[in-house]
Amino acid sequence: MARVLMKGNEAIAEAAIRAGCDAYFGYPITPQTELLEYMSKRMPELGRVFLQGESEVACINMVLGAAAAGRRVMTSSSSPGVSLKQEGISYLAGTELPAVIVNIMRGGPGLGNVQPSQSDYFQATKGGGHGDYFPIVLAPSTVQEAIDFTILAFELADKYRNPTMILGDGSIGQIMEPVELPEVEPKPPPKPWALTGCQGREKNIVRSMYLLAGPLEARNIILQKKYREIEANEQRHTEYMLEGAGVVIVAYGTAGRVAQTGIKKARDEGILAGLFRPISLYPYPKDALSSLTDQAKVFLVLEMSAGQMLEDVELVVKGRVPVDFQGWLGGRVPSPTEVLEKIREMADKYTS
């Protein structure tokens, strides 16, 4: 496979196309706009659907329509736009429709700024909208991962009939890196529930409303069973230099990537530090993280937020090992030196 230089946003768009995305609905917002622009050019060339909707609210509901009609469909946005999509994502979850949503996060709250941030972790992984539900959430830390996870997102969305999110920060969207674009043979599963016109079969209904408590409870129990299945089967993470590491850094996306460089420098100084990098943020890779409590002297959580994933790490570690934290706010990306300094501090405090 030839390597090409691609920007994260465009790479996600191209990966979606290769994964068999039939329709894209979006609304411009920095720092994800190149994704929409790429789709506006390529989708019509391929005879597929591109539509710039009048708002993120409209776009997510167009996504719901196209998904209900049985097609592979995607939308992308950045933090404020993804906030607007939350009602629609809740409906996607309630109606069990597969769809891929990309959030290239920027600094918040409010209009914030267009710098890279990880402060939408709670919104993405804890449901975001109303009701008891979880979207599947995948967090790339390189452009190559953005490609691979986008393809995976379409597969998982169809497999579990569940909205699936790519959660990247602004730097993943904007950075240019050499990548390999895989050839994909999209194989969406049969969708007998889809709205296609009822020729030769009973009518299909796509709905989330069940007026009485009993039936809605029964629906929720089915959904919860599905989430437990996802939690059992789809936990993903990678590790870097964990051999013998007493200082275990937990970081995802760009923070994970910067941590890697910091860890390398620490190892050069003889400090035993390593990285646990979650890839699936929902389901959180609890099992693998939990098994590290035997070796870790401290878990150091690094995030470009005030400490959101931190809560998941604390839930997994359950006080067995100290959990420390450093965050960067307002769209600031940590430097490897800052990470190194924090690792040194951790090593002094917990491993000497």
Residue ranges binding another protein (CB under 8 A): 22-23, 25, 49, 51, 53-55, 57-59, 61-69, 71, 73, 87-88, 91, 95, 195-200, 203-209
- Nearest 5°: CA angle at 155, between 149 and 158? 135
Q: How far is the CB of 212 from another protein (least distance, A)?
A: 13
Q: Are 77 and 29 in contact (CB under 8 A)?
A: yes
Residue number, 5 or 46, with CB nearest to another protein: 46
Q: Which is nearer to another protein, 118 or 164 (CB)?
A: 164
Q: Tell me how far CA of residue 242 lies from CA of 83, 210, 261, 277, 289, in angstroms.
A: 36, 49, 14, 11, 12
Cα–chain-centroid distance for residue 155? Answer: 14
Smallest gap from Cβ 3 to another protein, in A, equals 33
């910067």: which residue's tokens?
Answer: 258
Neighbouring-strand partners of residue 273: 247
Residue 184 or 195: the one with the smaller Cβ distance to another protein is 195
Q: Which amino acid is at 116?
A: P
Q: Nearest distance from residue 338's CB to another protein, in Å?
A: 43
Rounded CA separation 241/248 (Å): 9
Minimum Å distance from CB 257 to another protein?
A: 35
Query: The tokens 């409590």 sit on which residue?
Result: 293
Place of tokens 């691609």: 6
Residues 6+ apart with CB under 8 A from 309: 118, 121, 250, 252, 278, 281, 301, 303
Of 44 and 244, nearer to another protein (C-beta) is: 44
∠ CA 87-25-125 to the nearest 5 degrees?
A: 40
Q: Which is nearer to another protein, 208 or 351 (CB)?
A: 208
Give me the least distance between CB of 47 and another protein, in Å please.
Answer: 12
**Strand pairing partners for 102?**
76, 166
Q: In the complex with another protein, which residue's Cβ is closer, 198 or 213? A: 198
Non-local CB neighbours of 347 within 8 Å, separated by 6+ positions: 246, 247, 266, 271, 272, 273
Q: CA 232: distance to chain centroid?
A: 18
Nearer to another protein, 199 or 352 (CB): 199
| Least spacing, CB of residue 80 vs another protein, in Å | 16
Shortest Cβ distance from residue 88 to another protein (Å)? 6
Q: Which is nearer to another protein, 77 or 326 (CB)?
A: 77
Q: How far is the CB of 58 from another protein (least distance, A)?
A: 4
Cα–Cα distance, 191 to 343 (Å, whole number): 50
Q: How far is the CB of 25 from another protein (least distance, A)?
A: 7
Which residues 6+ apart lie within 8 Å of 329 measured at CB?
Answer: 107, 119, 304, 305, 306
User: Residues near 73 by Cβ (< 8 Å), separated by ≥ 6?
Assistant: 21, 22, 23, 24, 25, 63, 66, 67, 99, 100
Q: Which is nearer to another protein, 71 or 342 (CB)?
A: 71
